[in-house]
Structure 1
Amino acid sequence: MLSLVLMIVFVHIAIYLVNTVGASTIDLLVWHLYLKLPSSTSRNACEQQRLKKNVVELKREMNSTSSQDEFAKWAKLRRRHDKALEEFEAMNKIISTQKSSFDWTVKTARWLSTNGLKMFLQFWYSKTPVFALPHGWLPYYVEWILSFPRAPLGSVSIQVWNNVCASAVAVFAEMLGALLVQIIGQKGSAVPAEQEAKKAQ
């Protein structure tokens, strides 16, 4: 089983990713993945796309037909367009209802698996030391702070470890981001230099 130390690290990595990428982006990605599964919602989404395409085609055909010169054809297209638009709007309402229900489920699952899990771990393991400190290495007041609020003296509490992990993940992510920017910048500047060298030859 995953140790408490690593579990908290992974929870904070997940929280950081959700906060960085954005909850709405993740919800949209999960929605699109859900639509790939064989379900009634994905069938409704396919039907919605078909109806939308039909409405657009009828609108284009109707606009290219003169309402004065070819009134009978235009009126027939108008009736077909209105009927297709009505079907599309009805399907849109069904999809919107399903999407709002799905979004609520995803938001709940996301919160429970990140912040909810963090809060549960803090409550459940409040008296459990995350790891013990070597005896006599630190002064009494530092040991007391590290074990605050309820862990045994001479150990690190889950609350302190949570704060350490949150800070470490944020700092590490910033360092990684800066490193990636530097690498991309070097590659970007290397390409024009190669092109200039080829031109000079």
Structure 2
Amino acid sequence: MSLILSIFCLVFATQLISWIGQSVLLELAYAAYIRVFYSSSVKQQRALKTEILAKKSELLKTSAQDHFAKWAKLRRSVDKGLADLEKLNAELAATRSSFALKFNGLIWILTSGAQFVIGWWYRKSAIFYLPPGWFGPLGWWLSFPFAPKGSVSVGVWQMACRRVIKLGERVVRDLTARPAHEVPAAATTEKAKEK
């Protein structure tokens, strides 16, 4: 793949992640991760919750004065179950925070880090050359910082791609926000005032 398309795809992927939301992607990835690697812990957690709820229900139905031995046994069982559930929840929470740290690091490396590395690696390369005299004395800015004079540098190309993608996002949002046949409310109130 050529450098021009690689940079565009990388910038687009970064913007796509920002549109979807990194937290949403984290939730989806974590759900898949937990199902694959910690399915037994999740099953154990569900079973413990079900068991605790059943025993709590039975505990509430048992009179502490009339059936003290049964009530005390149920109470100890519920307390032990809650302690086990708390321990399991702490383990899963630690797993989640560790996964979130690694996932966010990986996303940063694949998007922002990759853009930085590509920009640094190809800092002296030209993405493409412009016809002479198109931008007059401002042509040097497009080759900023190290690309040959009269060309577009990697950094400027990344900036242009990001701007075009954001502009496209805004256009799509405006088109999907309201149908074309609707008139904004401000325009209708101004027409009413004129009459």
Q: TM-score, normalised by structure 2?
A: 0.84
- What does residue 154 of structure 1 align with? 150
Mapping of residues 51-130 of structure 1, within 5 Å: 51-130=48-127
Mapping of residues 141-180 of structure 1, within 5 Å: 141-180=137-176
Post-superposition shift, 1:3?
A: 1.9
Partners of 1:17 and 1:64 in 2: CA distance = 54
Partners of 2:66 and 2:164 in 1: CA distance = 73
Post-superposition shift, 1:36?
A: 2.7
Provide structure 2 residue ranges, at least 5 long, that are not aligned to the other structure.
183-195
1:1-48 Cα deviation digits (max 9, x unpaired):
x222222222222222333333222211110111232x2x23212212
- The aligned length equals 182
Partners of 2:24 and 2:62 in 1: CA distance = 42
Secondary structure class of the residue paired with 1:50: helix
Secondary structure class of the residue paired with 1:144: helix
1:104-145 Cα deviation digits (max 9, x unpaired):
111111000011111111111110111121234332x22211
Change (3 A) 1:58 1:157: same
- What does residue 7 of structure 2 align with? 8
Q: TM-score, normalised by structure 1?
A: 0.81
Provide structure 1 residue ranges, at least 5 long, that are not aligned to the other structure.
187-201
Range with greater deviation from structure 2 (61-70 or 106-115): 61-70
User: Percent identity, aligned pairs only?
Assistant: 35
RMSD (CA atoms): 2.1
- What does residue 29 of structure 1 align with? 28
Post-superposition shift, 1:155?
A: 0.8
- What does residue 46 of structure 1 align with? 43
